[in-house]
Amino acid sequence: MTVIIYFSMISQLFFGIDEHFRTFTNSLILMLYTAFSGYDPTWFSELPQFMQTVAVYYMQFFLVINVLLLMNYVVAIMTDRYAALQSSRLGLLRDD
């Protein structure tokens, strides 16, 4: 959540002239929407051409960071669970 808040603050500062990013709340909602379902490049239609290009790259960078962080969390959870279950490993066939 911290990363999403930071990215929404930065997007409000850089792209605040666009109506979608004018307030922090709008920016936060759009960043959450982007993180969980996708974004629409027409959000940046009010920006100058150069800023539209920067905004598209900014959103792609945001999505890559989110995917990397989420994948890292999933791997960490799976590794922790595997380590916890490894100590109490019970086999199907036991030699008694």
Q: Which tokens belong to 75?
A: 């791997």
Query: What pLDDT shows up at residue 9?
Result: 92
Whether 31 contacts 46, CB under 8 Å: no
Query: What pLDDT shows up at residue 96?
Result: 52
More confidently predicted of 37 and 96? 37
Output the CA torsion sign for 35, 37, 41, 46: negative
Enter the DSSP assignment of 63.
Answer: H
Please choose, from the candidates 49, 47, 38, the residue with its C-alpha nearest in 3D space to the C-alpha of residue 20: 47
Helix or strand or coil: residue 39?
coil
Strand (E) positions, the chain? none
What confidence tier does 91 reach under pLDDT thresholds 50, 70, 90? low
Angle at CA of residue 48, ends 53 and 30, nearest 5°: 65
Tens digit of each residue's pLDDT (9 = 90 or more) over 14-71: 888 888 888 999 889 888 888 887 777 777 888 888 888 898 899 889 988 888 888 8
What is the pTM (predicted TM-score) of this model?
Answer: 0.69
